[in-house]
Structure 1
Amino acid sequence: MPPSNTDNCSTSHFRYPLFTSTYSIVLLFGLPLNFVSLWILVCRNGLRKSVSVIYMANLALSDLLFTLSLPFRIIYFATGEWKLGNALCMIPGTLFAVNIYSSSLFITLISVDRMLAVVYPLRSRQLRTVPIAWVLCVMVWLIIAGLAVPTALNHPENKDNACNVTRCFEKYSERNWYNGFIILCFTTFFGILVPFCIILGCTVSVVRQLKGYSMATSSCNTELSKSKIVKLFLSNLLIYAICFIPFHIAFILFGLSKHDYLHGDNSLEVYFNLHTVTMCMASTNSCLDPLIYYFSTKTIKGRTRCDSSSRTVGLGLVQSMSWNGQ
């Protein structure tokens, strides 16, 4: 997180208690939620039968790694001083970025997979396979690893000579700040904007497809499935609306203000405070992702009895919410 020029050596700025309380709440709820979700996904459902399980297990793993790093952030913002060394400073800062962009990409894969299951249930069978899902997940982690290296190098501990304390997660040098801003602009476009457009397109396609279903489909007990599909896509958009988009907008505004592209009375401090609040919102991502697990793991039990005129539509809906439907 970039520093504010108006800060002093005390921890009286509202960001310290805000970060401490927010990270504590996220840790309290996010750790058990994601641990249980990962256990259910891996141990009860397995990673060999369902494409959806593979994507969601990787998403849960990303969230779990982030929540495990939160105690280090809590310790720092509760005390205002870092005493745990450079390596332990870089890791939590890096895992924050890793979580945001890996979550964004895995949510995109989940949305595309569900869209293909609903809109193209038969033609997409060859694309929606376990081997292809694992290849895509490995590609995501390789991309994230490539992002993690420069992010880690740009988030070292630093000596605050004016206050005679060691800092972490804030008060970076001008060079670190500039490099971080360039990285953020790049990742905002490719890691947030592009995936959001894909998810929005998938949502529109699914809603149009669902509206086109005839009344005969309703007799096949698929109305509940249709509702779950819509809620899944809405939960994806909700996560972007709360966690990802506000944080990146606030960070870019703060960066533009810091480089004197935006002018106004106290604009730097205003955007810094906005960035602080939206960063807390971004941290709630690991608590909101279980909504995706919930809406995705609901299956349609029993066999659907359909006449021949609606069998294809019913098959698409059943496959879209069933673990066994690839």
Structure 2
Amino acid sequence: MAWTVGLSKLVLAVYGFTLITGLPTNILAFYTFFQKVRQRSTPMDVLLFSLTISDLIFLFFLPFRMVEAANMKWTMPYFLCPLTGFIFYSVIANSVLHLTAISVERYLGVAFPIKYRLKRNPRSAVIASVIFALMSMGHCSIVYIIQYHHYFNPNTTDPSKRNTCYEEFSKEQLDILLPIRLELSVVFFLIPFIICCFCYIQCIRILSRLSAVNIKKRYRAIGMALGTLLVFVICFMPFNISHVDGFVNSHSSKWREHALLTSTLNACLDPFIFYFSSSALRETFKKVLQGLVTRLLVPCCGSALCSSLFNRGKPEVRTQSSDDSIL
């Protein structure tokens, strides 16, 4: 990939937007799920907490990629190059697996509400999260393998002396990399996407037949299903299509960097999926929003009027259930 001024500005804009919107919302989600996991957690809480940690790690390494885009070349210590690439691709793969597990958990809670509630265990979600992390890191270790392939060959340029990061590949490197990218697109996109489609379509069908389900809860479930599928289509599909294109045409696609940009948006879209998944997070968001609005309105209208605005039409406070397993 050849850096241009236009591409540099585009990358900085997308990464900056992701960082500005994703960091505060994920920190808020981290605080909420951390409190729930410490108290009475469900498998959903554990999965959402693990996914939030993954997104925060991703956002922490995002500025390194922004520096590269700003300079239009790699100017930082070279050991950060494979590390940032490894984190980037591992988190993307890890997010896909977590979103798939969340869809399965939702389906089981809707299709088998009594049986699943009796058998579910947060420990199984912890084990699944560890397995997802190991799978993602194991597959994406190819970044290190390719970066230092033929490292001791005297005819090969020392990677640390280049000003590019994970971009220039020899034919020997592509012979290793392209089939693995194709395998990644199958394991970390195609199969999970099929599972998510099945689970959420079934959830919507079941909920549409249950007249006793509150209309708001039904809309939240549909919103979560559509939101997750949109994340797959918008964030993950273009990047994985580039894997297939590269394998078929035996080259690293020139538009792959543009496809990677959509994948980074996942870190700022995940909290919106969390919103539909957790009543605790909805309450936290509401409190934060009310606090911000109060700070803005108090100087203008007074605390008494602000309080009346927030409490107008507010129903009687009920004890919040920690169980979000079905809706």
TM range (shorter): 0.7 to 0.9
Residue 147 in structure 1 maps to residue 129 in structure 2 = no
Go from structure 1 to structure 2 and tell me whether the alpha carbon gap of 1:17 and 1:95 turns closer, same or farther (over 3 Å shift).
same
Alignment deviations for residues 294-326 of structure 1 (CA, whole Å, 9 cap, x no partner)? 11113699xxxxxxxxxxxxxxxxxxx953356
Secondary structure in structure 1 of the residue aligned to 2:115: coil
| Partner of residue 259, structure 2 | 278
Q: Tell me which residue corresponds to 2:232.
A: 240
Of the three residues 272, 277, 288, the one matched with 1:291 is: 272
The residue correspondences of 1:110-189 to structure 2 (distance < 5 A) are: 110-155=102-147, 165-189=162-186
Aligned pairs (5 A) from 1:200-239: 200-214=197-211, 217=212, 222-239=214-231
Is the alpha carbon distance of 1:32 and 1:129 closer, same or farther for their aligned partners in structure 2, counting shifts above 3 Å? same
Query: Shift in Å at residue 109 of structure 1?
Result: 0.9
Query: 1:151 Cα deviation (Å)?
Result: 2.7
Name the SS of the counterpart of 1:68 in structure 2.
helix
> Which residue is equivalent to 2:323?
324
Amino acid aligned to 1:323: S
Structure 2 distance, partners of 1:54, 1:247, is: 28
Of 31, 36, 44, which residue of structure 1 is paired with 2:28? 36
Query: Which protein has the bigger helix share?
Result: 2
Shift of 1:85: 2.4
Deviation at 1:254, TM superposition (A): 3.7
Query: Shift of residue 14 of structure 1?
Result: 3.5
C-alpha displacement of 1:21:
2.3
Separation of aligned partners in 1, 2:247 and 2:274? 35
- Partner SS, residue 81 of structure 1: coil
Equivalent residues of 1:26, 1:284 under 8 A apart: yes
The Cα shift of 1:34 comes to 1.4
Q: Conserved in 1, the CA contact under 8 Å of 2:179 and 2:247?
A: no
- Whether the 8 Å contact between 2:182 and 2:243 is mirrored in structure 1 is no
Q: Could you tell me how far 1:249 is from its partner in structure 2?
A: 0.9
Correspondence 1:15-54 to 2 at 5 A? 15-43=7-35, 46=38, 48-54=40-46
In structure 2, C-alpha distance between the alignment counterparts of 1:210 and 1:284, rounded to whole Å: 30
For structure 1, the 5+ residue unaligned runs are 260-267, 302-320
CA contact (8 A) 1:90 1:156 kept: no
Match of 1:92 among 60, 77, 84: 84
User: In structure 2, the residue corresponding to 1:84 is in which secondary structure?
Assistant: coil
Match of 2:55 among 63, 75, 91: 63
Partner AA of 1:234 in structure 2: L
Q: Which amino acid aligns with 1:182?
A: P
Gaps of 5+ in 2: 284-319
Residues 176 and 70 of structure 1, relative CA distance in 2, 3 Å threshold: farther
Q: 1:304-319 residue pairs with structure 2 within 5 A?
A: none
TM-score computed with the length of structure 2 as normaliser: 0.77
Secondary structure of the residue aligned to 2:41 is: coil
- Partner AA of 2:198 in structure 1: G
3-state DSSP class of the match of 2:114? coil
- 5 Å-filtered alignment, 1:100-111, equals 100-111=92-103
Structure 1 position 156, deviation (Å): 5.7
Instruction: Spell out, residue by residue over 1:15-70, the C-alpha distance to the aligned partner (whole angstroms, 9 max, x if none).
Output: 33322222222122222221221111103553652211100011111111111111
CA distance in 1, matches of 2:264, 2:141: 21
Structure 2 Cα separation of the partners of residues 179 and 25 of structure 1: 34
The CA distance in 2 between the partners of 1:133 and 1:249, in whole Å, is 30
Check whether the contact 2:235–2:264 (CA below 8 A) recurs between aligned residues: yes
Range that drifts further, 281-290 or 205-214 = 205-214
Q: Which residue of 2 aligns with 1:196?
A: 193
CA distance, structure 2, for counterparts of residue 48 and residue 136 of structure 1: 19
Structure 2 vs 1, CA of residues 12 and 133 (structure 1 numbering), >3 Å: closer, same or farther? closer
| Runs of 4+ deviating beyond 6 Å | 157-161
What is the alpha-carbon root mean square deviation over aligned residues? Answer: 2.7
